Amino acid sequence: MKATIYHNPRCSKSRETLAILQEASAEIEIVEYLKTPLSRDELARLYARAGMTARVALRIAEDAAKPLKGADDDAILDAMAANPILIERPLVATEKGVRLGRPPEKVREIL
């Protein structure tokens, strides 16, 4: 099975999710999204496959998220593409779907 993880190696939840993928013997593509940002369209596709809105995937603990409090999903996607620290992590995509690894065990649903 192939899995793509949109990963931040400094994040414990992201590291835990990566470990779950490794334990499952997945063929893993690691995308460090802070180094290789996703486009607005890529983010929109991933969230649509996950059945979630951009607002749910917004890292609200970041200072840069405060101005987005009343923003719509289009504005949030634009902000995430411009400032990828706003993307909640980790996201994992497989042929079975996309999940946000919060908690990390959620990714087991698509393995």
Which positions are annotated as active-site residues? 11
CA–CA separation, 95 vs 85, rounded Å? 26
Residue 75 burial (CB count, 10 A): 14
3-state DSSP assignment of residue 10: coil
Tokens of 59: 């890292």
Identity of residue 1: M
Residues counted in the chain = 111
